[in-house]
Amino acid sequence: MPELPEVETVVRGLRRLLPGRTVADVTLGPHTVVRHPQGDAFAGAIRGRTWSGVERRGKFIRCRMAGTADELIVHLGMTGHLIVTEAAAEPAPHTHFRMQLDGGHELRFDDARRFGRVLLGPWDALVQAALLPALGMEPLGREFDRQLFHARLRKTERNVKAVLLDQAFVAGLGNIYVDEICHLAGVRPARRASSLTRTQRDALFDHTPAVLRQAIRNRGTTISDYRDAWNAEGTNQERLLAYGRGGLPCLSCGTAMRKSVVAGRGTTHCPRCQK
DNA sequence: ACCTACCTGGCC
DNA sequence: GGCCAGGTAGGT
């Protein structure tokens, strides 16, 4: 479900409440969505702690706690929700943890498909232990580097879609926004990356942050499941040009958009505008 | 560098 | 009943 703009919107929502709140108690559901640490250590390390800040890295949410290098790390998978709510509110189905906060709120995680992941620990140590993946460039950060982008695309035999979906290359892109980026850049997702012109690579590089920033302004894309930290839907689905528009006319040229499978994912492109 | 599996729910 | 879905990991 959630890609970088949705995760960023959740993070901004959490920042409005979490910092300064203390965790009075932690309740875990029957399913083991917590990957690390196992057993009671997870709840024990969080109970009594006070949240300091909330950050995003790729599609991961990082909730920092005062006085420790440990942080709560949440990946929403396809259907996960990290939500702040009144403590009295009925929990959503498939709620996997609840954290009672001072002031009458709870931080809750629910995830029907259980593709999400929850970990606790220092970020770098978890990467070292291979419990977290090493992530590539942040597309909205200063480190998003044009030269590196060109070099990587030039040398791989994979298709453009697979490369852009690779979290070890650029962190945070997913199926929706890769289709949008390719459409705006005029590039077929199935194109072998090494066959692109310099101009096409530049267009992909330039449209990546633009597409993500627009989606963040629109508080994310809600197709069905996605909600932010305050259970609100996004509006970016009203602005999508490619994703979900198979068979519909291209908004640039009117040609019917084509749906296919690229890199194992449903993919939509305009056969006329995208080369 | 590909597959397939992992889950549930919604839609045809 | 079968197919599809915004996510990754793990095996080939």
Question: Which tens digits make up the pLDDT trace of A187-220?
Answer: 999 999 999 999 999 999 999 999 999 999 999 9
**For A163, how many CA atoms within 13 A lie in the half-sphere containing its CB?**
27
Q: How far is the CA of A124 from the C1' of B1 (A)?
A: 27
Average pLDDT, chain A: 97
Q: Could you tell me which residues are beta bridge partners of residue A118?
A: A34, A74
Position A200: which residue type? Q
User: Would you call A2 a catalytic residue per the annotation?
Assistant: yes
Mean predicted confidence (pLDDT) in A17-38:
95
Per-residue confidence band for A185, with pLDDT thresholds at 50, 70 and 90: very high
- State yes or no: pLDDT of A182 exceeds 90: yes
- Could you give the C-alpha distances from A265 to A43, A152, A203, A251, in angstroms and in order? 37, 21, 22, 22
Question: Would you state the structure tokens that stand for residue A232, as one six-digit string?
Answer: 């609100």
Give the mean pLDDT of A127-155.
97
Burial of A67 (0-12, 13-18, 19+ CB in 10 A): exposed
A1: pLDDT strictly greater than 80 = no
Going A265 to A72 to A93 to A28, the CA torsion angle's sign is positive
Residue A32, pLDDT score:
85
Question: Is A271 marked active-site?
Answer: no
Please give the average per-residue pLDDT across A110-118, as a whole number: 96
What proportion of chain A, given as a percentage, has pLDDT over 70?
Answer: 100
Q: Is the CB of A192 under 7 A from strand B?
A: no
3-state secondary structure of A38: coil
Tokens of A149: 């982008």
Q: Which nucleotide is nearest to A76 (CA to C1')?
A: C7
At residue A138, the pLDDT reads: 98
The whole-angstrom separation of Cα A202 and Cα A182 is 12
Say how many residues make up chain A. 275
The pLDDT of residue A102: 96
What percentage of residues in chain A have a pLDDT greater than 90? Answer: 98
List C-alpha distances in Å: A228 to A75, A80, A84: 13, 10, 9
The C1' atom of C3 and the CA atom of A255 lie apart, in whole Å, by: 27
Using CA atoms, how far residue A68 sits from A14, A202, A275, in Å, is 19, 42, 51
Read off φ and ψ for residue A174, nearest 5 degrees. -135, -165
Separation in Å, CA A241 to CA A109, A179, A181, A273 = 31, 9, 10, 12
Given this model, what pLDDT does residue A9 score? 98
A240, HSE (Cβ side, Cα atoms, 13 Å): 23
| Gap from A25 CA to B5 C1', Å | 35
Buried b (16+ CB within 10 A) or exposed e, A142-169: eebeeeebbebbeebebbbbbbbbbbeb
The string of pLDDT tens digits covering residues A115-137 is 999 999 999 999 999 999 999 99
Please report the pLDDT score of residue A86 as a whole number: 97
Q: Using only C-alpha atoms, what is the Rg of chain A? A: 20
Active site residue A233: no
The set of strand B positions with any atom below 7 Å of a protein CB reads: 1-4, 6-10
pLDDT attached to residue A74? 98
pLDDT exceeds 80 at position A183: yes
For residues A220-238, average pLDDT: 96
